[in-house]
Structure 1
Amino acid sequence: MHITFNRVSANYQLGPIKRADILTDLSAEVTPGSFTAVVGPTGAGKSSLLKLINGLLLPSVGEVSVGEVVFTAKASKQALKQVRKRVGMAFQFPEHQLFAETVYEDLAFGPRNFNISDSEIDTTIKHVCQLTGIDQSLLERSPFSLSGGQQRRVAIAGILATKPDILVLDEPAAGLDPVAKKQILEMLSHLHKTEKLTTLMVTHDMDDVVHYADDVIVMAEGQIKAHLDVRSLFSDQALLERYQLDVPTALSLQQQLEQAKGEQLNHRSLTLTELADYLIEEGWV
């Protein structure tokens, strides 16, 4: 499932509130099957970019392609329904999307909306529970009686129940404690690989970028400023400084060691394992 933005600009309007050109002249192509992190300062347009993919935000200029569906400012309801079946979107704090009396009913809502039969819904719910680690004993419980981590899993399972080809995730681990955060991100990474999804994830955590993403889209001022692989991003110090991007923990520690020693390593470390290997290789320890 390829995703292409072709000279796209977009306005935002909610009732009387309108902001022109929250996204401006975007052109990019997301490789099918890739895991792409979307980074940049607050207000850069990251969440709006995700909404374009799901048709929740329509281009005012240009066109968006999601698989074989191409849509513009005048997208039909049929085209948008096609897109939304193929694209699963999790907003920040996706548990706020929960609403039904039971976990089962929440998971069944999406498939029913796409006219899937009850027998197929039963099979789908069992499958997504296995994928997301939800014990089926929870299906008849209220989703609001669950822990924060469990609610997050239910919300993501509800998205998977429509069998999307693309996942777009807006800081999917926001607000979770470190253990629950790692569990959710590991789960999403596993889903990405086993279900052969194309995944885009907004994040501010550069360690998450290193550990889970293949590519990175850097956004600022409503524009895509760079689209490159992870190692290339963290090798470009000028780009990092220009858009005030943090670096992963290992690279930050390396820079502190280099400053204290007055020398530089020959490689930039993205993980603590890499840093340890480079320190040994160059005789710093």
Structure 2
Amino acid sequence: MNITFNRVSANYQLGPIKQENILRDLTAEVLPGSFTAVIGPTGAGKSSLLKLINGLLLPSVGEVSVGEVVFTAKASKEALKQVRKRVGMAFQFPEHQLFADTVYEDLAFGPRNFNMSEKEIETTIKEVCQLTGIDRSLLERSPFSLSGGQQRRVAIAGILATKPDILVLDEPAAGLDPEAKKQILDMLYDLHTAEKLTTLMVTHDMDDVAYYADDAIVMAEGQIKAHQDVRTLFANQDLLDQYQLDVPTALSLQQQLEAAKGQRLKNRALTLTELANGLIEEGWV
């Protein structure tokens, strides 16, 4: 299921507060099954881009296509319902989306909204618990009695319970310690792969981009400035400098080693494993 933005601009409005053209003239296509990182400075429009995909934000100009569903400024309720069933969205702190008395009821909420039978809901909850590593002994507990990492797993499981084809993730590991962050991102990547999902993830961490993403969308000032595969992105130093983007830890270490030695490795390393292999292959260690 591909996602297409066709000359899309959008305004932000919350009650009387309105900001025009927070997104401007977006044209891009996200291919089915890809894992796309959305990067850029604070205020670039990254979170707003994700909201366009599930209809939380509607275009003022242009159109958004999610699979066969196309919506514009005058999108129908039926079109938005179809899109929201296909698109699972996790906000920056997904545990803030929890609200029910028990974990089971939290996981059942989305499927009930989409008219699943109680038997289908029970089967679905069993499946998402397995996918996200939630022990079924937690189902009758309050989600608010769980650890931060467990709460985040429950929130993500609740999103998966609607059986989306697309995941949009707004810094899904924000606020977690490094070990818990890696566990959550590894889990999401495994889900992306196993369920053949199309995934977009906002992140400020270039190591996340290097380890998990196939492609990257670079945003600034409400516009898409680049959309390319990750290896091409990190080979384009002018682009990185222009939009003040960091490089992954491994590439930073490589650049420091190259400066000290006065030589360059043949390939740019995006992960520590790639760097170690490159150093060995070229006899630097």
What is the TM-score when the length of structure 2 is the normalising length? 0.99
CA offsets, 1:211-234, max 9 Å, x none? 111111111110001110010000
Residue equivalent to 1:86? 86
CA offsets, 1:168-202, max 9 Å, x none? 00000111111111110111011001111000000
Deviation at 1:277, TM superposition (A): 1.9
Deviation at 1:267, TM superposition (A): 1.6
Deviation at 1:261, TM superposition (A): 1.9
Residue equivalent to 2:235? 235
Which residues in structure 2 correspond to 1:158-177 (within 5 Å)? 158-177=158-177
Deviation at 1:257, TM superposition (A): 1.1
With 255-264 and 202-211 compared, the bigger mean Cα shift is at 255-264
Which residues in structure 2 correspond to 1:111-122 (within 5 Å)? 111-122=111-122
What is the TM-score when the length of structure 1 is the normalising length? 0.99
The letter for the 2-side match of 1:263 is Q
Residue equivalent to 1:72? 72
Residue equivalent to 2:13? 13
Distance 1:277 1:103 in 2: 45
| Equivalent position SS for 1:88 | strand
| Equivalent position SS for 1:277 | helix
Distance 1:115 1:274 in 2: 48
Instruction: Give the aligned CA root-mean-square deviation in angstroms.
Output: 0.7
Deviation at 1:284, TM superposition (A): 2.0
Residue equivalent to 2:106? 106
Residue equivalent to 1:225? 225
Which residues in structure 2 correspond to 1:1-285 (within 5 Å)? 1-285=1-285
With 275-284 and 71-80 compared, the bigger mean Cα shift is at 275-284
Deviation at 1:116, TM superposition (A): 1.0
| Equivalent position SS for 2:256 | helix
Deviation at 1:67, TM superposition (A): 0.6
With 273-282 and 204-213 compared, the bigger mean Cα shift is at 273-282
The letter for the 2-side match of 1:8 is V
Equivalenced residues, count:
285
CA offsets, 1:135-168, max 9 Å, x none? 0110000000000000000000000000000000
The letter for the 1-side match of 2:32 is P
| Equivalent position SS for 1:264 | coil
Distance 2:60 2:18 in 1: 13
Distance 1:179 1:275 in 2: 22
Segments of structure 1 that go 5 or more residues without pairing to the other structure are: none
Distance 1:281 1:117 in 2: 58
The letter for the 2-side match of 1:40 is G
Distance 2:276 2:111 in 1: 48
Distance 1:124 1:283 in 2: 52
Deviation at 1:279, TM superposition (A): 1.7
